Amino acid sequence: MSRMRRSKQPAARGRAARAALDRRLPWLVVLCLVTALGPGLDCPRLAESAQDPVRIAAIYAESGEASVGTAKQDFRGAALAVEAINASGGLLGRRVELVAFDNLSTPLGARHAALQAVEAGVSAVVGGPWSGMATAMAEVCQQARTPFVTSIATHPGVTRTGEWIFRVCYTDDQQGELLARFARFGLSAATAAVLVNVGSSYSQGLAETFSQAFTAAGGRIVCEQSFKSNDTDYSGELATVAAATPDVVFLPSYAMESGHIVRQAASMGITVPFLGGDGWGPTMIETGRGAVNGHFYTTHWHPDAPVAAGKDIAQAYLKAHGLALVQPDAILAYDAVMVLADAIRRAGSLDRNAIRGALEKTRDFPGGTGTITFDADRNPMGKEVSILRFENGRTIFFTSFR
């Protein structure tokens, strides 16, 4: 999921904030999550010898805004992969340890966590979730020549940071184009309206890609309306949408505000399908209530998606934590660790450059979210995008596109 952020504070205040955060490290950034997350996690250790385990860092949101709804799922998915690797003999004759870091849900926290990971001597890093945080991690890892695989950051710019940066999820460009094709051919829509959050690069990027692809497929964008994240009344924008009588409405935003928008749209008599990207999710039901029924969105994985490996991982997660997965975060984190493990085995070495070279050559890796083959930009080629539909207050698997 993509969410790019820029700080608005003056430079002096920014330096003061960084200094304050430095003083709070490692108490805030470095976490020992063994008790909370289960086996496979250890605190960082700087010394390394031939007898030491293979250390992989996991940098996700244990606190802050990005942790809401999927707190611990990313860490647990990564830890579950490490447990499976160790159960099968480890890597290169060594046990694997996962070193967990909290990115504090901010790019600054993510940068500090990545620096701590590099200083801890890890062989590679996995992380996310939002693209602003992933980009901050990517910049550190690129400079430190440490392989970084982001599991759930969709902004195309993340992997453009450099040749040490990879991702296992699809990009906003991919999902925007596939949503346009789904609207045009799956729903037979000839016209579409677009609602854009002007304060979100995620929303703007998806809207642009969707509009271009929908038009190229023979559709017509009949109106585009903008809103802001802190808006509470969308009646003006929705009145314009209603007057344009579109066949579908594309709303590339996040779950909370999207729930409010579709609920207000229903109250105004707008009954055409709304479409959203991976920023939507089951939490929309809390704000949108019954108004979400009949609307569609994309996701990276669903329990009913036809990917056998994903079902197996979900079953292992249920057994380990007593919780059924409905969001893709844990599965994607599992895939990120396993793609790294596969590269390390093929490299036959813990040399970071060798690992990076093996990652670049990843072909047809059977991930839980689909087959992974990296393209020249180190993004997975041709991954299926699952389309979900809200029905009776829950999400159901509708179809998949690629």
C-alpha radius of gyration, the chain, whole number: 21
Percent of residues, the chain, with pLDDT higher than 90:
74
Please tell me the number of Cα atoms within 13 Å of 20 on its side-chain side: 6
Q: Cβ(279)–Cβ(131) under 8 Å?
A: no
Q: Cβ(173)–Cβ(209) under 8 Å?
A: yes
Q: Cβ(150)–Cβ(166) under 8 Å?
A: yes
Burial of 397 (0-12, 13-18, 19+ CB in 10 A): middle
Mean pLDDT of 54-60: 98
Helix (H, G, I), strand (E, B) or coil at 54: strand
Taking residue 360's Cβ as centre, other Cβ atoms within 10 Å add up to 15
pLDDT of residue 11 exceeding 60, the answer is no
How far apart (Å, rounded) are the C-alpha atoms in residues 112 and 157?
Answer: 20
* Dihedrals phi, psi of 58, to nearest 5 degrees: -120, 120
Q: Where are the beta strands (DSSP E) in 128-237?
A: 148-150, 165-167, 191-197, 220-227
- CA torsion 43-48-49-50 (nearest 10°) is 70
374: DSSP letter: B
What stretches of 245-299 show up as alpha helix (H) in DSSP? 255-267, 284-288
Summarised one tens digit per residue, pLDDT across range 218-271 is 999 999 999 998 889 999 999 999 999 999 999 999 888 999 999 999 999 999
Summarised one tens digit per residue, pLDDT across range 109-162 is 999 999 999 999 999 999 998 888 999 999 999 999 999 999 999 999 999 999
* pLDDT at residue number 1: 60
Bridge partners, 56 (sequence order): 98, 124
How far apart (Å, rounded) are the C-alpha atoms in residues 213 and 252?
Answer: 15
Please tell me the number of Cα atoms within 13 Å of 326 on its side-chain side: 11
The two structure tokens encoding residue 156: 């195309």
How far apart (Å, rounded) are the C-alpha atoms in residues 359 and 377?
Answer: 12
More confident residue, 200 or 125: 125
Mean pLDDT of 187-208: 93
Mean pLDDT of 6-35: 40
Helix (H, G, I), strand (E, B) or coil at 73: helix
Burial of 320 (0-12, 13-18, 19+ CB in 10 A): middle
Model pTM score: 0.83
pLDDT of residue 395 exceeding 80, the answer is yes
Summarised one tens digit per residue, pLDDT across range 355-382 is 999 999 999 999 999 999 999 999 999 8
Q: Cβ(158)–Cβ(194) under 8 Å?
A: no
How far apart (Å, rounded) are the C-alpha atoms in residues 65 and 53?
Answer: 33
Q: Furthest-apart CA pair in the chain: how many Å?
A: 69
Domains of the chain: 11-170+308-382 (3.40.50.2300), 173-299 (3.40.50.2300)
CA 259 to chain centre: 20
* pLDDT at residue number 9: 38
